Amino acid sequence: MKIGFIGLGNMGASLARLVLAHKEKTEEILLANRSQEKTEKIIEEVGGCLASNQEVFAQADIIFLGVKPAQMADLLQEQVEILNKRESVLFVSMAAGLSLDQLQDLTAPQHRFVRIMPNTPITVGAGVISFVLSSKTKEADEQLLLHLLAPAGKLVKLEEKQMDAATALAGCGPAFVYQFIEGLSDAGVKNGLPRELALELACQTVLGAAKMIEDKELHPAVLTDQVASPAGATIAGLASLEADAFKGKVIKAVDVACKRTRELAK
């Protein structure tokens, strides 16, 4: 089994490191990137084989495409002769917004496509990878994907119409959460806590709150009500968030991110 990666930006490199860290002896990982220096650094750290784009397209059984949406057409067209001669290859696209139909139109009809959208916490095994399969994929393709990417965290199979929303929520969401954690930490410092302690408390609070929702399977509103006692400090803070339209601003941020995701495919 030869597994290829083309494009080793932040996300492509993260997935390549993940697969390399858990590879089996029967798997060979081919790495191609514009910057050979970056590829060599990954190989030095976790292994893999340096390859050109042409070598990956000619040899790999499954190819992860970590290029920007605007670069995808040129990348696949450059290798059209190689791809026309090959039997079916499984492509895994990380390009936000590009639909399966758009991807399929860029290459020979025998090839299969999967769209994925990972988020950055995959690097610590606590991420989300949303994925959608084309009609040409086989059950074995899905099992291979789950095998390779399971160490990333949670894999969620979607319908394609859900992909842009999932990208905006889970793909962009970590940045929104980081802003919230930074705000909590700043508030702690403002009220007398040392920075390191304030950040530690903010991180653990967010982590614990998320685990409460996951483990207890309760709606966030129910858990919020359990914290907010009558005329207490929590309800006073919640009233302030409500006055500033906190949830509305979060919703708007995801809406804007979703809209931009759709624009990237044009």
30 is in an annotated binding site: no
- The DSSP-derived string for 26-71 is T-EEEEE-S-HHHHHHHHHHH--EE--HHHHHHH-SEEEE-S-HHH
Residue 84 labelled as part of a binding site: no
Q: What is the CA radius of gyration of the chain?
A: 22
Is 10 one of the annotated binding-site residues? yes
| φ, ψ at 243 (rounded to 5°) | -65, -30
8 A C-beta contact, residue 119 and residue 171: yes
**Residue 94 counted as an annotated binding residue:** no
Annotated ligand binding at 53? The verdict is: yes
Q: Are 26 and 73 contacting, i.e. CB atoms less than 8 angstroms apart? A: no
237 annotated to a ligand binding site: no
In 3D space, the residue among 104, 77, 101 whose CA is nearest the CA of residue 90 turns out to be: 104
Tokens 């309760």 sit on residue: 218
- Please report where in the chains the tokens 């990954």 appear, as a residue: 42
Binding residues: 6-11, 53
Binding residues for NADPH: 53
Binding residues for NADP(+): 6-11
